[in-house]
Structure 1
């Protein structure tokens, strides 16, 4: 089901990554045909953000370069080079104390809309917030709180990305595509959710075709944390397969075929498992 990773500050605090039990039977993956147009499945990958190669702990890692000392890892997660180094040095994927993320106090996430953020995207983000808050214990409050808040904007390249959990101070949330599912996905990161395909038990459900993945991008498929509950094919946090030259990077073990995800399938809402996990995390 859901992978939630609490990444606490680097001052010797441990990480918690967990998933919560689904409230209904787990459904099969939504298949997609080999050779399907990859460009139609790119809403979460930010391919338009320039890629740079960082040498991290002796490993070459391809990341999106936001040009301000921040990078995009695993498609849409905002990290610094130090954060990434901390994460990649954790070979067991248990501590993973990168990004300094932690729970939002009192289940309350403060936010502000940047000047120039379009009214249509503002409405989409507010709809995503209402969807989440009506189903979970999370509250969204406009303002800066005690200085820990989310700055919501559209970057110059139209990227979709967010910082995971409460990093402290002002943190980034960019919505380039005016899409409700994308907004919910990025708010999921803001709350503290990580990608479903990063679960430690991922290999029981998904087979990674490493030959279809450039060597400098393989760290994106690193498994981390602990398992709680079941793998969730319906999670808003699951990425779809990506097909390059007829070969998909991920395929379902049960079907042997590549798969779609919630957003690409038009299911722009939290799964029952997503809801259960958020509520368990923010008791």
Structure 2
């Protein structure tokens, strides 16, 4: 939100090429109710499904995404609107990992929870976690035109940033509170940590082990023509980061540290770096 400084150029751009985390510190203690009893997994909009690979433009830059069940799926669990994929002539290139024009005004997110969504405590606990660890505030929607609805989905997915009108965070029965915290991060404008432009300084991507059709989940922003300066250092503990075995086709790692060691996916709560990053954005 406000206490981390970054360049004026990065502050003025539309979308980001950088991770919104500032350090590689250990995670701070999280509330007991956020402890997961099952192994954390990377989020997917449509688990086990791939679609036709398509190209378009995202904020005026080239992008590759998959068309699955009529949805434009980017990085596995980010749902893009037709307007976001369309060419955006005359707009500035991205230089920050979060949307600046797609931020929620005054850091207030209006929301509803679909009555059909089971285990609604996943949503309320995730909201409580965000409110306890950031200036973001969630207010139940009355007549506001821009808001998020949490509803049943085929997997875990969300739009990126405030897109205007009603948008969704989709949660299948297997989506945990930690997955919900992750998806809210997307709704606030955060991208995945492993797609930072400087990630090759910290990790090696083992493309030969990635499931077919999921290669785009590991593409750097710079490879898509984005420019910008990464914010801080890569945060292995970020709730927006994949684990070493995410989307593996053969049980072998898809991401390793530069020394070849593996690391676990973290879906318990926001890391210290996540908190600093969202502070810089809002």
Common fold: TM-score over 0.5: yes
CA pair 278-125 structure 1, distance change in 2 beyond 3 A = same
SS in 1 for 2:214: helix
Distance 1:47 1:14 in 2: 28
Size of the alignment, in residue pairs?
245
2:163 maps to which residue?
A: 167
- Report the TM-score when normalising by structure 2: 0.74
How far apart are residue 251 of structure 1 and its match?
1.3
2:121 maps to which residue?
A: 123
Check whether the contact 2:74–2:217 (CA below 8 A) recurs between aligned residues.
yes
Greater CA deviation, 273-282 or 211-220? 211-220
Task: Give the one of 200, 203, 213 matched to 2:200.
Answer: 203
RMSD over aligned Cα atoms = 3.5
Check whether the contact 2:79–2:158 (CA below 8 A) recurs between aligned residues.
yes
How far apart are residue 75 of structure 1 and its match?
1.3
Distance 1:97 1:237 in 2: 11
CA pair 44-16 structure 1, distance change in 2 beyond 3 A = closer
Check whether the contact 2:104–2:188 (CA below 8 A) recurs between aligned residues.
yes
Check whether the contact 2:15–2:97 (CA below 8 A) recurs between aligned residues.
yes
- Report the TM-score when normalising by structure 1: 0.74
Greater CA deviation, 105-114 or 242-251? 242-251
How far apart are residue 146 of structure 1 and its match?
3.0
How far apart are residue 98 of structure 1 and its match?
11
CA pair 145-195 structure 1, distance change in 2 beyond 3 A = farther
SS in 1 for 2:243: coil
How far apart are residue 54 of structure 1 and its match?
3.0
Distance 1:229 1:55 in 2: 32
SS in 2 for 1:244: coil
Distance 2:199 2:143 in 1: 37
Asked if residue 240 in structure 1 is aligned to residue 239 in structure 2, the reply is no
Asked if residue 222 in structure 1 is aligned to residue 222 in structure 2, the reply is no
SS in 2 for 1:188: helix
How far apart are residue 70 of structure 1 and its match?
2.2
1:80-123 residue CA offsets vs partner (Å, 9 max, x unmatched): 45634659xxxxx73699999611011100011123122x2x11
Check whether the contact 2:79–2:160 (CA below 8 A) recurs between aligned residues.
yes
Distance 1:231 1:100 in 2: 21
Asked if residue 279 in structure 1 is aligned to residue 279 in structure 2, the reply is yes
Q: Which runs of 5+ in 1 are unaligned?
A: 1-12, 29-38, 88-92
Distance 2:96 2:232 in 1: 20
